[in-house]
Structure 1
Amino acid sequence: MSLLHKKIKDFKQYSYERHKNLFSELASGQAPHTLFISCCDSRVLPSFITNSLPGELFIVRNIANIVPPYSTKGEYSSTIAAIEYAVLVLKVQNIVVCGHSNCGGCSSLLKSDDELSLLPNVKRWLSLSENTRVKYFQNLDEDIRMPYHIEMINVVMQLENLMTYPFIEERIKQKSLNTYGWYYSIDKGEIFDYNPAVKYFEPVI
């Protein structure tokens, strides 16, 4: 038996049985309270770090937790469609963009074209965060309070991209939707929440 098959067996025997009633309720539909946009990184488990049960989070994962600017032209439609569905159909109350420490996608933003030559699709995807790379080098020369972690800067840029979605901007104005930018420190197990008023990531206590 493979490792994955064993884990499936353990899930059915332990986790499923423990939450059997919940799974029965969820069989008829979902009503998550939060759209959680995170990196694909295997060390980042949204439900685990937020201590959430099945049905609470509508999760979108991609390299470097990128939010493509809003478009109806079909480009990067997977992530855009998921955001659209979460807000307009599921009517989530919160959107979290969660970056993390030692992000391979963010570090690749600082690599040369030659270094990414064998990863053409990754390179094209990361081009959506060119503003992150520019802001990172700009911040090296400025006296600002926000730490210089490129992962943190990337989160802030993705929050700005969220505001290009007309239905998100509208719901924020109506105060029916909240957006949050998080930075997850893997080794410390800590979450830092971006405060736009002071342009700083504050620890969630």
Structure 2
Amino acid sequence: MESLLKGAVKFMEEGFLEHAELFASLKHAQDPHTLFISCVDSRVVPNLITNCLPGELFMVRNVANIVPPYRISEEYLSTTSAIEYALYALNIKTIIVCGHSDCGGCAALYKPESEFSKMPNVRHWIKLIEPIKSEVLKFSGDDKAKIAWLTERLNVINSIENILTYPGVEEACENGELNIYGWHYIIETGEIFSYDLKERSFKLLAIRKDEH
């Protein structure tokens, strides 16, 4: 806790001053350009890996960056509510679903029920991506590394498909009014692989020559 307090004081005395004008402009409103959906894993830091400043990203974070299919419910739907707000209140036009390597949430799919005795809600949440498990095991055999990255990538694709179930989203994408991207971030190398929706494959993220 002491390190956090020191960090907060350092921010007030140094970090804030560096961007004082920016924070002043954000006093009464936000206008983020991107909805960034990622895992709650502490190793995934959206602003760091995108080089974005405060106010640029509207972030939704949960275990394993899962987006459930759209539905209206009497339950308290945190992820669904946040995505609704981004789409229909903030009118965000870019969405990134960012999965990552060594994802504990994805790995949980292959854990025995006994390991969730004190985490029943986590287990229930992970069941949202249970269908991915059978697909992965068809192609991976006993290769643990292959199981991991296949699960992580199929999970990103699954979340993209579920975003398309939100009202008006599929039509907006077809009309070019909304862009959705899927990323697979490799923690130990810093590499980011982006999902090409047309070719249905992940490619190493790079700036095209015509964008220089």
TM-score by length of 1: 0.92
Matches within 5 A, 1:1-205: 2-75=2-75, 77-140=77-140, 148-205=149-206
CA shift for structure 1 position 198: 2.7
Q: Which amino acid aligns with 1:201?
A: F
CA shift for structure 1 position 64: 0.2
Q: Which amino acid aligns with 2:187?
A: I
Greater Cα shift, 125-134 or 56-65:
125-134
Report which of the two has the higher share of helix. Answer: 2
Greater Cα shift, 110-119 or 173-182:
110-119
Identity across the alignment (%): 47
Q: 2:109, 2:156 → 1: CA distance?
A: 14
Kindly tell me: are residues 18 and 42 of structure 1, through their superposed partners in 2, closer, same or farther at Cα, counting changes over 3 Å? same
1:167-187 deviation digits (Å, cap 9, x = unpaired): 322321332110000000000
- Other structure's SS at 2:114 match: coil
Q: Which amino acid aligns with 1:126?
A: I
Kindly tell me: are residues 199 and 174 of structure 1, through their superposed partners in 2, closer, same or farther at Cα, counting changes over 3 Å? closer
- Other structure's SS at 2:134 match: helix
Q: 1:52, 1:148 → 2: CA distance?
A: 26
CA shift for structure 1 position 14: 1.6
- Contact 1:36/1:98 (CA < 8 Å) preserved in 2? yes
Q: 1:132, 1:75 → 2: CA distance?
A: 25
TM-score by length of 2: 0.89
Q: Which amino acid aligns with 1:155?
A: V
Name structure 1 gaps, 5 residues minimum.
142-146
